[in-house]
Amino acid sequence: MKRQDAIRHLEPTLQDRIDDGNGNLVEVNDDVIYSPTTASMDTVAGLRKVESMLPDKVETIFGQRFNKIESETDSSVTFSTDTGDKHECRFLINSAGQNALDIARSCGFGDSLMQFQMKGMYTMSETPIAKDYKMHVYPVPIPGAQNLGVHTTLAANGHVKVGPSVLPAFAAENYNGLENVTMGSFAEACRTYLTMIKSN
């Protein structure tokens, strides 16, 4: 099976022909992924828009970090945040991205799983170039690689990012130097890296 077919099996919207900007469909080879529906967004603006569409009885919380499950019954879950506040909900949907494993563990799941922390550094264009940039085209990941490979991304502000580099991260939000690194997060990152090295 060609790599492109294997990728398309996972993401059916991918195409093997792209519009060259003049209305002509051009075939792409196995080294790129053309995803016409991929887009970048301003996450905060997107969340604020969703918030504005919710009924008044729905509470939205910003600026707080999930701490732990405090109590659970058949009809509700109470959790606390890093500010000490407690919130009750009927359903807790874990969609916390890189922090999802921490939340899962606090609910009694995922103890056998580990998170492979990496950070990518991008270069941003100095000026917006959205008028010259029409679509996202990604390289097909190398089998066994831990990332998508270097690619371009059109940001919501019209600038283009190129990257990422791939560097070890020693905490979930370790963007600069030792930011957010604790002895616990450092030890877990080292265990994860050693496990990955042994598995290869």
Q: Is 108 left (phi over 0), alpha (psi -120 to 50) or beta?
A: left
Report the number of secondary-structure helices (H) and strands (E) in the chain: 4, 12
Task: State the pLDDT confidence band at 32, using cuts at 50, 70 and 90.
Answer: low
Token pair for 10: 């996972």
User: Residues 180-193: what's their mean pLDDT?
Assistant: 88
DSSP letter for 103, please. H
pLDDT at 76 over 60: yes
Domain ranges of the chain: 1-37, 45-113, 114-200
Q: Please say if the pLDDT value at position 134 is more than 90.
A: no
Q: Is the pLDDT of residue 27 over 70?
A: no
CB of 67 closer than 8 Å to CB of 80: yes
State yes or no: pLDDT of 159 exceeds 70.
Answer: yes
Q: What is the pLDDT of residue 146?
A: 62
Q: Is the pLDDT of residue 50 over 60?
A: yes
Q: Cα angle at 50 between 104 and 132, to 5 degrees?
A: 105
Nearest Cα to 101, choosing from 185, 33, 41, 181?
185
What is residue 44's predicted lDDT score, i.e. its pLDDT?
86
